[in-house]
Structure 1
Amino acid sequence: MHDRPWWLMTALSGALMVVFGAFGAHVLANELTPRAMAAFETGVRYQAWHTLAMLGVLAWRAAVPLPGQRLVLALWAGGMLLFCGSLYGLTLSGQSWLGPITPLGGLLLILGWLALAGVVLRARPGA
């Protein structure tokens, strides 16, 4: 299974997303300001959507491996790490230096979607 590391990372991202979601709902809800809680929930939401998107690309790749699919996965993984990770770090630690990292992660997420569009445009019809 040549995509085993990607499957493992996606599975761990899904597990962490559930852990962070539960932690936010049951522990942080009464501890954070509404603005901080909204930022934390944004991190969980973006991690959830991109973890599901990664599952889709991995399943597609298992059936039809195409150039560029791994780039999509890498951009989304890096984007989740920087975007979601910085939001988690900001809300849990209050370290303001993490703030400028968030838009870099968002940029990687966007680039991942654009890379996916490129894969689709380059693929043969029916692939």
Structure 2
Amino acid sequence: MNVPASLSPVPRAARFFLASGGLLGLLSVAGGALAAHLPDAMFATPSGRMLAREAVEMGMWHAPALLAVGILLCVRGRRVPLLLAGAAFALGVVLFCGAVGWTGVTGQHLGPVAPTGGSLLMLAWLLMAVDGLRR
């Protein structure tokens, strides 16, 4: 018996990426409010607020990307490039935004954490492109 797509269960990976995208959007809005309203003394350096805003902006740009991965998994089914892209988006945004935000607030650099996260984000976009070119 064929179940209409609208009634079929949402795959677990799709639910994870949809929930992650929603949570990342929430955290980005909250982080943006903090970056805008915290007193200057809460930032370790004069450029700390700018770094915090950069972390928030990158998080907000990648929240819809995670949502897109979840939606595409529902529409196209389980596809390796999509699964890898979602995982790279999720881990990359935590590493990049977390490290940049941490540096903005504390002034402490976390070494290669932010560049590793940024590299994962670029890989995720490449994997989305690869999946888009597949039949």
**Which band: TM-score by shorter chain?**
0.7 to 0.9
The letter for the 2-side match of 1:104 is T
Q: Does 1:4 align with 2:15?
A: yes
Could you tell me which runs of 5 or more consecutive residues in structure 2 were left unpaired when the two chains were aligned.
Answer: 1-9
1: distance between equivalents of 2:125 and 2:46?
30
1:20-59 matches, cutoff 5 A: 20-28=31-39, 30-31=40-41, 32=43, 33-59=45-71
Correspondent of 1:91 among 104, 107, 111: 104
The answer to whether the 8 A contact 1:57-1:73 is kept is: yes
CA contact (8 A) 1:66 1:119 kept: no
Superposed CA RMSD in Å reads 1.6
Deviations 1:71-125 (A, max 9, x none): 11100111101100001111222223x1421111100000001111111122x2x
Give the secondary-structure state (helix, strand or coil) at the position aligned to 2:33: helix
Runs of 4 or more consecutive aligned structure 1 residues displaced over 4 Å after TM superposition:
none
Question: What is aligned with 1:72?
Answer: 85
Larger radius of gyration: 2
Q: 1: distance between equivalents of 2:20 and 2:106?
A: 25
Distance 1:83 1:55 in 2: 19
Seq. identity, %: 35
Q: 1:104 aligns with which of 99, 102, 116?
A: 116
The answer (yes or no) to whether the contact 1:72–1:113 under 8 Å persists in 2 is: yes
Deviation at 1:5, TM superposition (A): 2.1
Letter in 2 for 1:88: G
Unaligned runs of 5+ in 1: none
